[in-house]
């Protein structure tokens, strides 16, 4: 997405295109953690630098997460994990 002084320079496909783009940015940046993340993330004025800092901080604090095997239930979501191992924070 490219913005000029008067607004978007490219055609937006959806009314909420900006929100969709920001959500995909956050999901993609957190994927760099190396495992699917099961958790609740709220982003306010986020960006790539903030998202990757969150991933780094999460990984650096071993007490903030655990790896869960696929057969385990994720209590907060009450769903089975969809990958063989997931990071729960």
Q: Which residues are catalytic?
A: 48
Position of tokens 């008067």? 6
Position of tokens 């937006």? 12
Burial (0-12, 13-18, 19+ Cβ within 10 Å), 87: buried
Output DSSP code: residue 68.
E
């Amino acid at each position: 997405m490219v913005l000029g002084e008067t607004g978007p320079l490219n055609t937006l496909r959806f009314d909420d295109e900006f929100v969709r783009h920001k959500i995909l940015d956050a999901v993609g940046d957190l994927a760099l953690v190396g495992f699917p993340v099961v958790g609740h993330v709220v982003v306010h004025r986020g960006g790539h630098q903030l998202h990757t800092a969150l991933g780094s901080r999460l990984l650096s604090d071993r007490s903030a997460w655990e790896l869960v095997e696929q057969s385990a239930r994720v209590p907060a979501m009450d769903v089975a994990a969809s990958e063989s191992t997931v990071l729960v924070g």
